Structure 1
């Protein structure tokens, strides 16, 4: 298989994405954000993100490998949108 570099993603690329809350699911048409990007987008720190995940008030991360996790961009966008709507 040809390596396309870090962060590159082609439609149909099927790296096995396992969720820590259940069996692997098909990769939706969404980019995967790593923790620094999630922190920037949400304004939250690492500890707060993981606390909210534990309380089921933040999107669950997806397991990328044994030492890497990420979040679907659409999940983070939906979460941020719901927070804005709740503040109205």
Structure 2
């Protein structure tokens, strides 16, 4: 399985959320944690973000 990291802007685009919403979700423990790349750069594991999106879609379909 190839692992890919996503930058913040890619995460925001894929999830269709704002930076503020991303921050709130992270603080609440409701979003996959970022991986620290350097002291000034973080990224997210693509499949973890995709799983989060799929869960949100499934949840919305059940409501």
Return the TM-score normalized by structure 2. Answer: 0.91
Structure 2 residue corresponding to 1:78, chosen from 40, 46, 51: 51
Partner of 1:58: 31
Unaligned ranges ≥5, structure 1: 1-27
| Structure 1 residues 5-59: Cα deviation after superposition (integer angstroms, max 9, x where no partner) | xxxxxxxxxxxxxxxxxxxxxxx74100000100100001111101101101111
| CA RMSD, Structure 1 to Structure 2 (Å) | 1.1
Instruction: List 4+ stretches of structure 1 deviating above 2 A.
Output: none
Looking at structure 2, the residues matched to 46 and 30 of structure 1 have their Cα atoms a distance apart, in angstroms, of: 24
Partner SS state of residue 49, structure 1: helix
User: Aligned pairs, how many?
Assistant: 61
| Structure 1 residues 55-81: Cα deviation after superposition (integer angstroms, max 9, x where no partner) | 011111110000000000001000000
